[in-house]
Chains A and B, each alone.
Chain A
Amino acid sequence: MTLDPLLLSRLQFAWVIAWHILLPAFTVGLASYIALLEGLHFFTKQEIYFRIAGFWTRIFAVSFAMGVVSGIIMPFQFGTNWSRYADATANVLSPLLAYEGMMAFFLEATFLGVLLFGRGRVPRWMHLFAAMMVALGTLFSSFWILAANSWMQTPAGFAVVRGRFFPTDWAAIVFNPSAPYRLAHTVVGFYVTSGLVVLGVAAFLIRRRTHAAEGKAMLSTTLWLLLGLVPLQMVLGDMHGLNTRRYQPIKLAAIEARWTTMARAPLTLFAIPDETHQTNRAAIDVPLLGSLLLTHGPNGVVEGLEAAPRADRPPVAIVFFAFRIMVGAGVLMLVVVLWGNLLRRRGRVYESRLFLTACQFAAPLGFIAVIAGWTTTEVGRQPWTVYGLLRTAQSVSPSLTGPDVAATLAGYVLAYIVMFPAGILVMARIVRRGPVSQDADSPVQAGLPGEPILALGGRRGEAEGGS
């Protein structure tokens, strides 16, 4: 078997981006939640919000550090493995990435330092301001990176000269046709993901009865937020789908495993797409529903995969199943959220052990949906890096050999199978300890870890006396 540098480079990119995206999926929402808690504490002066904010800030610090180190890897991938893509697209895409760096990364990194270590060094309002800047940074970051990603899906505002893209209209590039939909769908998805984690942790704290008050406060706010966000996410998903139908019909055909173009199309709930025979096996179809959902009318025409030559089609099965996993996760989320709000109306939301257990199991649903949704849209973009214009096969660095990429891929695999479980373990430990008040256990909030204080015995009283 020969090692194919293209395939290995794709695997490497998929590996590093799939792990990386889990972290913004969590921290984007969490940053806003922490800013909200800091604001609640600032204006109501209730200590409970302070403790909860501190608790989530500790978790945020761990996940953010993981997000930073796995994120720095990403832009360099364009150079190491995708240099021809970089050469072809840099004139258009690089400013979007650079703006992400300048507007978001510095803001997040610098103000996170103040948020974590500056509690006693800056006034209260400044600390709230730092929390807001971190949250704002995560949103700026989402905006620019999704603008760049969307341009790869629905390129606009450019001219091609000798195989390279040149900008002609920056507004059209940044606000390309899929950008607003993708941004809204992704950011709300990230908020929901964080919300479900908060819900699960809250349920855990309530069930365990230590820190139940904090757990109830978290559960209550989050259940309200999710009651708005989860249905909103479904509406946004539908709008994003309509946008995909208009600009990337072949991707949509793969999502639906629709081989032939037809009006009054059915919706295939389940099937095993057979790419060699271009048909679905074991299909469960609902008549007319395909046209109804995708075109919002029973007679709408849904384009099939046959409209594109085979070489221009994405792998159907992956896209088809990934989409169904995403939608399935979304439906489960809706069930949990509706159930919780129903229980709340009956005043039993904190007592129902079944519901609280369900919340704990629902905690990772957002991550599953994010990965599945990301797979749908990115695998659905194949075989192109810039949709319809630049092939993935023509994007890879020409100097790379199979063993080169195998070596770096092995390195990334090894690093992440150490780092991610360790990070999850570390965060689980913080959760188990619960929202204790910060001085007892708080390397982060105190600005300095407990140990140097212990080590310098005599100064300890002094240090605490100053708090």
Chain B
Amino acid sequence: MSFALDLTFVWAAILALAVLFYVLLDGFDLGVGMLFGLAPDTPTRNLLMNAIAPVWDGNETWLVLGGIGLLAAFPLAFAIVIPAVQFPIALMLLALVFRGVAFEFRYRDRERKSFWDFGFCYGSLMATFAQGVVLGAYIQGFKVDGRRFAGTSLDCFTPFSMMTGAALVFGYGLLGACWLILKTEGEVQRQARRQARWCMVGVLGAIAIVSVWTPLADADIARRWFTWPNVAFFAPVPAVTAAIAVWQWRSLNDGSEAAPFLGTLGLFLMSYLGIAISLFPMVVPHRYDLWQAASSPSTQAFLLIGTVVLLPIILIYTAWSYWVFRGKVRGDLGYH
């Protein structure tokens, strides 16, 4: 294996990490945004917003890194996939507009506060759903001609992608609810536990549906999972997922505060791993693998030099900012 091929693998790993960070971090604040719509009163809504206000912006930045990272590491995939999902992407971006400005506007624009509350909740919901549609469309693959997407802009709306859209709503809802269990107390926390249980049912249902649907619909995926010796290697994936699910379900009922969030991270990680196993090494499913879609070795190297320095720094100060804002939101009411 040559040096260039190694870099492609390194970039695939970095990009996978960036997307994972995005999903986990913005996932919980989009989830809190959706649950915001279910909050019973204004004080609770304010509290929910405060549980994510200092960190949402940094979380959303991983989306930019994911998008530009794809462009930088696998430009061919970017040029094929993004036009193919242009409607859900546009929907997501527009939803993020309303949701993002709501953080500032709802406190300042009191006459239209309910409008911005609405924008915050439904913006979070639409952005999440749209991301789920992108995921579903991506797993199903695209019509490709040479270096271009050859289908239409509506191809991405399929029963499967609708299902993954709904699944991600439950998934981010679960992340959000578990974040709230971590950050709140009292009635708000009890409410979050109830919501987490509902979301978890949805998430486990979605995992089951995807696990059955994708191998049935796609012979490659079936072969990947169910031929010997793969079946032995990959059997732990569903087993570990089930174990995490049981552990998390119990933690939702036994009063622990950090365990539900950790459990959700585990579930997401296992689902992510499952998708990666199904698709690897294709980056444009069914068509181009990582190496065919990779950017030039010079591009990979030039960007890697900075990335190995900057990414750890980013992680350090991101962790530091979470440390600064640690603890219960409610208990910290006076932090001015």
- Using CB atoms and an 8 Å cutoff, list the residues of chain A in contact with chain B: 61-62, 65-66, 68-73, 75-76, 78-81, 83-84, 86-87, 90-92, 94-95, 97-99, 101-103, 105-107, 109-114, 116-122, 166-168, 170, 397-401, 404, 407-408, 411-412, 415, 419, 422-423, 425-426, 429-430, 438-439, 442-443, 445-449, 451-453, 455-456, 459, 462-467
Contact = CB atoms under 8 A, between A and B. Distances in A.
Interface of B is mostly: helix
28 contacts: A65-B57, A69-B101, A75-B68, A76-B82, A76-B89, A79-B67, A79-B79, A79-B82, A80-B89, A81-B83, A87-B76, A94-B295, A97-B72, A99-B303, A101-B61, A101-B68, A113-B53, A113-B54, A113-B321, A168-B298, A170-B298, A397-B86, A399-B148, A412-B94, A448-B332, A452-B50, A453-B333, A465-B334
B93 A83 contact: no
Contact of B71 (A79, A166, A445, A462): A79
B151 interface: yes
A87 B75 contact: yes
A118 B335 CA distance: 8
Given A72-B64, A425-B109, A404 B336 contact: no
Interface in B49-108: 49-50, 53-55, 57-58, 60-61, 63-65, 67-69, 71-72, 75-76, 78-84, 86-87, 89-91, 93-94, 96-98, 100-101, 103-105, 107-108
Given A94-B75, A110-B58, A102 B336 contact: no
B229 interface: no
Contacts of B334: 120, 462-467
Nearest to B309: A102
Contact of A455 (B43, B68, B108, B295): B43
Given A70-B97, A94-B72, A120 B310 contact: no
Given A61-B104, A106-B318, A455-B42, 4 more contacts: A90-B72, A91-B296, A97-B71, A442-B336
Contacts of B153: 399-401, 404
Given A68-B60, A69-B96, A75-B67, A422 B333 contact: no
A119 B336 contact: yes
Most chain-B Cβ atoms within 10 A of its Cβ — which of A73, A110, A438, A455?
A: A110
Given A90-B72, A170-B302, A117 B89 contact: no
Given A98-B69, A411-B90, A79 B83 contact: yes
Nearest 6 pairs between A and B by C-beta? A79-B82, A90-B75, A455-B43, A463-B334, A94-B72, A446-B336
A451 B42 contact: yes
B17 interface: no
B223 interface: no
B75 A86 contact: yes
A79 B94 CA distance: 16
A400 B83 contact: yes
A101 B152 contact: no
Given A411-B94, A443-B107, A462-B334, A68 B100 contact: yes
